[in-house]
Amino acid sequence: MKRIFVALLCAALLFSCSEKGDTRLSVDKKGRTVVERYGRLQVNGTALCTAGGKPVQLRGISSGGLQRDGKYANEDVLRWLRDDWNMQVWRAAMYTLEGGYIQRPAIKNKVIDSVDAAIKLGVYVIIDWHILSDGDPRRYQSQAIEFFTEMAQKYGEYPNVIYEICNEPNGNDTTWEEAIKPYAEAVIPVIRQYDPDNIIIVGTPQWSQRVNEPAEDPITGYRNIMYTLHFYAGTHGEWLRDVAADAIAAGVPIFVTECGTSEASGGSGVYEQEYLEWLSFLKKNNISWINWSLTNNGEESGLLSYNADREGKGGWTEDTLSASGKFIRRILRNEIRIK
């Protein structure tokens, strides 16, 4: 009798633990997607929260540059990532230069494909205006305004959508006060005209590392604004976590929209131990993160083996995944425990 009671108690405990684990699932046991469960996200203090006000951590995958890796921005691949990789959020990285939108505006269609698929699949999706070599976001501000107007008009009503308005501002003159904040203050109201509440993420100085700078001079007057921090495990360590910790303490809501297992070049990796240290920090602080990137270009940060899945079909086997791909998949599937 006593034994049966103990067994029942253990089963009940196990059950309640696994129920808790459901918050980390792209689709739960009842078949509800993450967007169905969390709804329209909001920011409370420094925390990203569900529509009901519960703090959450989203984890997901970034496309590589859509000008090269746009073949993966489709429903089959996103469904595979959702169901096999347990991905909750997809980032559509639309470069401005490097063969991106400014040079080939049709790349926008890959963002549209991404968002349409994400809505269908019930995952969150980040629309990333991926500035990089153009350094100062004001350089293509009018194009950004035009682009985000269209996106907010088209998708503002869907809770799936998150806007990232400038990937990585960089350059000595691209300061928070003079360049990034004024840019954000020009783009945010345009989005807000059509989309009153979905999350808007703002880049920070020096390739989105100086996340502490908005602390002294935050963007005010709008709800649901977050700031991005990017790291590469082979390049950025404790010192950048300290910057992030200071920023959090000062009230800055952070979303890590890009982080790689390699060095900042995208190559030389995989720094598993260093990446896991970062993930512990992010878990403790309930900060969402997205891995860079879904590419088969042969870089160590890329998730696929060199030249694998050239058509963009998904359904990958172990040998079509790179070392980083295998590692990130296990993390997202909760097969590697983050301390």
Using rule CB under 6 A, residue 100 touches ligand IDC: no
Segment contacting ligand IDC by CB under 6 A, of 18-26, 46-54, 156-164, 262-270: 262-270
258 catalytic residue (yes or no): yes
168 catalytic residue (yes or no): yes
- Binders of ligand IDC in range 228-257 (CB under 6 A): 230, 232
Closest by CA position to 43, among listed 32, 58, 29, 33: 58
Q: Rounded to whole angstroms, how far apart are CA atoms 293 and 266?
A: 9
Neighbours of 310 (CB within 10 A): 9
Using rule CB under 6 A, residue 72 touches ligand IDC: no
Are residues 80 and 316 in contact, defined by beta-carbon separation less than 8 angstroms? yes
Neighbours of 277 (CB within 10 A): 17
- Closer of 98 and 185 to ligand IDC (Cβ): 98
Segment contacting ligand IDC by CB under 6 A, of 14-22, 45-53, 263-271, 313-321: 263-271
Amino acid symbol at 150: E
Amino acid symbol at 194: Y
Selected binder of ligand IDC within 102, 264, 323, 338 (CB under 6 A): 264
Number of residues that bind ligand IDC (CB under 6 A): 15
**Which residues are within 8 A (CB) of 276 and not within 5 positions of it... i.e. 6 or more apart?**
336, 338, 339
Q: Which residue among 164, 168, 274, 300 is the active-site one? A: 168
Segment contacting ligand IDC by CB under 6 A, of 8-16, 32-40, 173-181, 260-268: 260-268
Selected binder of ligand IDC within 70, 266, 269, 325 (CB under 6 A): 266
The DSSP H or E segment spanning 292 is: strand 289-294
Are residues 200 and 191 in contact, defined by beta-carbon separation less than 8 angstroms? yes
Active-site positions? 168, 258
